[in-house]
Structure 1
Amino acid sequence: MQTAQKLTLSLCLSLAALGFASAQDGRAVKKNYLVKPDETEFWDPEVPTVTPGKEYGAAPSDAIILFDGKNLDNWVTVKDGSPAKWEVKDGAMTVVKGAGNISTKQDFGDYQLHIEWRSPNEPETLKSQGKGNSGIFMQGMYEVQVLNSYQNRTYRNGQAGSIYKQSAPMINPIRPMGEWNTYDIIYTAPRFNQNGGVETPPYVTVIFNGIIVQNHTKIQGSTEYIGAPKNLPHGKGPISLQDHGNLVSFRNIWIREL
């Protein structure tokens, strides 16, 4: 090997050894100068502290309580804005047939929503969408389906945990009718550009009885019973609960704005 080649090889090996040694003592070689670990550490501002609930499902300290089991003061009837007329009993609110959908008085954008629901004990003659049917509408227009899907076959994208008529849940972890189910919903609202087009669509993650059934699922638009989804520009919107004629109950509803 020629002398020049030997010198080049020796230099390369020395640089490689230096890089290895630097990695061993917690430093990295970058553009011929050393960077210390603390140069990539961020201390301020300090991460805010939130006190979690004492048990699973209990509201954390920064949550907005939407229903505490006592009254419907935070809810109105969707149709005319009058006070919500659902029944409140034993810490739960229950659909009153014909009273109509209800919505929160407050509007929201991005959030984490906790809600517990129970389908009633209904006769076996009721099937498919006629059994324990209700829904939770994000911003009043994007529905996470509520349905008695326990041994009750229906269309995949219409069972409990679905984004109604759009995305079926990955699995069906529902409890038997008459037992309480839990949804934890992480929702990112859509953004629209100046021309009214969708800049970023809405996304949702749904944790159903502790199991992920929608994983950052893209929502195609409004969840229509008939026809294709619509994407009309809008701002923040309420949480709405559906009166579908079944005596579905809800409790322990709280939200964290993100």
Structure 2
Amino acid sequence: MLPSLCVAVSLLCPSADPFPAKPEGLKLAKPEDGVDTPSTPAPAGAIVLLDGKSLEGWTHRNGGKAAAWKLASGGAVEVVPGTSDLLSKHMIDSPVRLHVEFRTPWMPGSKGQGRGNSGVYLQGRYEVQVLDSYGIEKPGEGDCGGIYGIAKPKTNACKAPLAWQAYDIDFTPPVFEGGKKSKPGVISVTLNGVLIHENVTITKDNTTSGLGGDPSTPGPLLLQDHGNPVQYRNIWLMKK
């Protein structure tokens, strides 16, 4: 296939760069939509889960194998499609504030859920969606910023693909007493400085493709391999 066609149908051209310096055909509604959200350094006392130097703090979902995602430039880690989800060795067992930086690839030949799809799962169960949802006027639960299957974001605060974005998530796990849930979990989410969820009640014990299991037990942070080369960097959390 001619190189000129690879841009238009990058899904069919594995060699096409998903993070080109000059993406052909990408149109911005506003220039700032293509500008990176500034990176936020981990504060004193934070637990750093991903520093971009190694993946020693992570394993794969299937069989607990050593993490095989790609260490990319700028301290980023890139999903290697087909390797399976990554699980943090650190377990979330109490209320936390989580910071995650990510960017979606330029996939002009793809649409909907096939365009820059990944996800951040708290305790491996509750997904905050990662997706190229740039330009969507009324985002749903399955769009970027959605709490999958639970709540759609108040507004579309997404940057354009290729721009670095940032989630700041306040998460309180559900409380169980005597084997029964006495308090549901609660999530608030800020995307690129915009509050898109405020004190949303977690109405499920597991969202689609989550780890499942006993919801009263601690769980890892899960980064989803949904078949697209999404990048992550600078992931840390603070216990509240």
Which range, TM-score by smaller chain?
Answer: 0.7 to 0.9
1:136 alignment partner in structure 2? 120
How far apart, CA to CA, are the structure 1 residues paired with 2:39 and 2:228? 28
1:218 alignment partner in structure 2? 201
**1:58 CA drift (Å):** 1.1
**1:232 CA drift (Å):** 4.3
**Consecutive aligned runs of 4 or more in structure 1 exceeding 2 Å deviation:** 151-155, 222-226, 230-234
- TM, length-normalised to structure 2: 0.78
2:133 and 2:139 in contact (8 A); partners too: no
Query: Alpha-carbon deviations, 1:125-153, whole Å to 9, x = none?
Result: 31111111000000011100111001357
1:166 and 1:223 in contact (8 A); partners too: no
Give the counterpart of 1:242 among 224, 235, 239. Answer: 224
How far apart, CA to CA, are the structure 2 residues paired with 1:87 and 1:154? 33
1:60 alignment partner in structure 2? 43
2:139 and 2:155 in contact (8 A); partners too: no
2:91 and 2:123 in contact (8 A); partners too: yes
Q: How does 1:37-186 map to 2 (within 5 A)?
A: 57-90=40-73, 91-109=75-93, 110-123=95-108, 125-151=109-135, 156-186=140-170
Question: Aligned residues, how many?
Answer: 199
How far apart, CA to CA, are the structure 1 residues paired with 2:60 and 2:137? 31
1:134 and 1:241 in contact (8 A); partners too: yes
How far apart, CA to CA, are the structure 2 residues paired with 1:107 and 1:157? 26
Distance 1:233 1:248, change over 3 A: closer
- TM, length-normalised to structure 1: 0.73
How far apart, CA to CA, are the structure 1 residues paired with 2:229 and 2:138? 19
Please give the secondary structure, in 2, of the residue aligned with 1:157: coil
2:61 and 2:87 in contact (8 A); partners too: yes
How far apart, CA to CA, are the structure 1 residues paired with 2:130 and 2:138? 13
Query: Alpha-carbon deviations, 1:133-187, whole Å to 9, x = none?
Result: 0000000111001110013578611111111011000000111111111000010
Q: How does 1:14-25 map to 2 (within 5 A)?
A: none
1:17 alignment partner in structure 2? none
Larger % of helix: which? 1
2:238 alignment partner in structure 1? 256
**1:192 CA drift (Å):** 1.1
How far apart, CA to CA, are the structure 2 residues paired with 1:231 and 1:96? 26
Distance 1:225 1:240, change over 3 A: closer
Query: Alpha-carbon deviations, 1:55-91, whole Å to 9, x = none?
Result: 8611110101111111101111011111111001111
How far apart, CA to CA, are the structure 2 residues paired with 1:96 and 1:231? 26
1:198 and 1:231 in contact (8 A); partners too: no
Root mean square deviation of aligned Cα: 1.9
Q: What is the percentage of aligned positions where both structures have the same residue?
A: 38
Instruction: Work out whether 1:200 is the aligned partner of 2:165.
Output: no
How far apart, CA to CA, are the structure 2 residues paired with 1:178 and 1:83? 27
Please give the secondary structure, in 2, of the residue aligned with 1:160: coil
**1:236 CA drift (Å):** 1.4
How far apart, CA to CA, are the structure 1 residues paired with 2:67 and 2:169? 23
| Structure with the greater alpha carbon radius of gyration | 1
Q: Mark the runs of 5 or more structure 1 residues left unpaired by the alignment.
A: 1-54
Matching residue's letter, 2:191:
F
**1:233 CA drift (Å):** 3.7
How far apart, CA to CA, are the structure 1 residues paired with 2:158 and 2:80? 23
How far apart, CA to CA, are the structure 2 residues paired with 1:155 and 1:176? 14
How far apart, CA to CA, are the structure 2 residues paired with 1:85 and 1:151? 32
